[in-house]
């Protein structure tokens, strides 16, 4: 025996009106007129031979029959919406292993992890802090986020973000020993995340290669140098991607108005045979979408710092 169901459009009008307690708000949600909603509800009441609403001041109130019908209708629409979402999104369940530059992992990816989990609760991530291009071809890694020149062969590879570099320090450090000019850096510990190449690039732009060097510490990666700066142990080079959150929260400040383009950039890479895997595509699409949401922020002045690109001589406060 076929099931007897009310028509769909009147049910939608009923559910929206019950949720808002208002014909006008239901009409706005469904992009129809107030009169159309009223007509649909009257048609549903005529079909069921019951009253579904009664007036209570400025709001509509469900009758006992309407209150009995609403949960079934709401659950049905929620089920349809959930099923539609599952049908229209890529396969998104299983395990995924991601190898990521330590600084990018700590300061950019992990703060956004909730967004990924909310969208793809069926994906179990394994996150490894590493900037080893050899992981691209590792059977234990699905996707790599790397910092480098992008010169890696026999893989799928795409530029994710370029970045600019600038000195960063904790507010406490600067309050205790001011940094007003580039020359003041000589009175502070210089924190390196590489062999000195990136500081050399920035000091060249600042016309300060002859700067007298004080104590220096070498770190294995930018995450450690930036963390050391947060704890007030010296001045590190931050970048427009990983340091932006720390600057916004006031954990770091940038004492100079000069940033320089980094020689290297962030890339996303994986084995050629994995790029078409749905779960890999889900993660790659997500990380580009997240980056797109903040597109343009790296072109804006960061708190306490303004990006200036110089073709000839860079002007820094305190340097003539």
Q: What is the pLDDT of residues 17-69, one digit of tens each?
A: 999 989 999 999 999 998 999 999 999 999 889 999 998 777 888 999 999 99
DSSP the chain: -------HHHHHHHHHHHHHT-HHHHHHHHTS-HHHHHHHHHHHHHHHTS--EEEETTEEEE-HHHHHHHHHHHHHHHHHHHHHHHHHS----EEEEEEE-HHHIIIIIGGGHHHHHHH-TTEEEEEEE---GGGGG-TT-SEEEEEE-----SSEEEEEE--EEEEEB-HHHHHHS---SGGGGGGSPEEESSSSHHHHHHHHHTT-TTPPP--EEE-SSHHHHHHHHHTTS-BEEEETTTSHHHHHTTS-B--SS--EE-SSEEEEEE-TTTTT-HHHHHHHHHHHHHHHHTTTGGGSPBTTB-----SS----TT--
Cα(163)–Cα(265) distance, rounded to whole angstroms? 6
Higher pLDDT, 58 or 198: 198
Looking at every residue in the chain, the average pLDDT score rounds to 86
Lowest mean pLDDT among 3-7, 8-12, 22-26: 3-7
Which pLDDT belongs to residue 314?
A: 36
pTM of the shown model:
0.64
For 304, left (φ over 0), alpha (ψ -120 to 50), or beta? left
Confidence of residue 192 (pLDDT cuts 50, 70, 90): very high
Structure confidence by residue, pLDDT tens digits, 156-188 = 999 999 999 999 999 999 999 999 899 999 999
Higher pLDDT, 307 or 260: 260
Confidence of residue 316 (pLDDT cuts 50, 70, 90): very low
* Average pLDDT of the residues in 211-239: 93
Confidence of residue 87 (pLDDT cuts 50, 70, 90): low
Structure confidence by residue, pLDDT tens digits, 92-135 = 789 999 999 999 999 999 999 999 999 999 999 999 999 999 99
């Amino acid at each position: 025996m076929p099931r007897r169901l009310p028509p769909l459009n009147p049910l939608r009008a009923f559910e929206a009106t019950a949720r808002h307690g208002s014909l006008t708000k239901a009409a706005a949600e469904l992009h129809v007129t107030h009169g159309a909603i009223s007509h649909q509800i009257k048609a549903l009441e005529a079909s069921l031979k019951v009253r579904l609403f009664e007036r209570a001041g400025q709001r509509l109130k469900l009758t006992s029959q309407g209150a009995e019908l609403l949960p079934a209708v709401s659950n049905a629409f929620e089920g349809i919406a959930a099923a539609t979402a599952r049908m229209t999104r890529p396969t998104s369940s299983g395990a995924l292993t991601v190898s990521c530059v330590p600084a990018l992992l700590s300061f950019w990816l992990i703060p956004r992890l909730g967004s990924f989990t909310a969208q793809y609760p069926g994906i179990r991530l394994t996150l490894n802090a590493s900037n080893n291009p050899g992981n691209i071809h590792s059977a234990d890694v699905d996707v790599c986020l790397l910092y480098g020149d992008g010169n890696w062969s026999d893989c799928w590879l795409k530029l994710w973000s370029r970045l600019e570099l600038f000195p960063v320090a904790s507010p406490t450090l600067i309050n205790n020993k001011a940094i007003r000019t580039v020359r003041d850096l000589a009175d502070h510990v210089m924190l390196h995340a590489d062999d000195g190449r990136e500081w050399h690039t920035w000091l060249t732009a600042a016309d300060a290669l002859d700067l007298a060097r004080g104590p220096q510490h070498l770190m294995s990666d930018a995450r450690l140098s930036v963390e050391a700066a947060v704890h007030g142990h010296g001045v590190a080079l931050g970048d427009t991607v990983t340091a932006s959150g720390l600057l916004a929260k006031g954990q770091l400040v940038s004492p100079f108005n000069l940033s320089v383009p980094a020689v290297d950039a962030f890339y996303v890479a994986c084995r050629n045979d994995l790029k078409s895997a749905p779960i890999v595509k889900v993660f790659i699409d997500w990380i580009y979408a997240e980056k797109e949401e903040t597109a343009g922020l790296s072109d804006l002045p960061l708190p306490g710092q303004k990006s200036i690109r110089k073709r000839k001589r860079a002007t820094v406060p305190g340097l003539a």
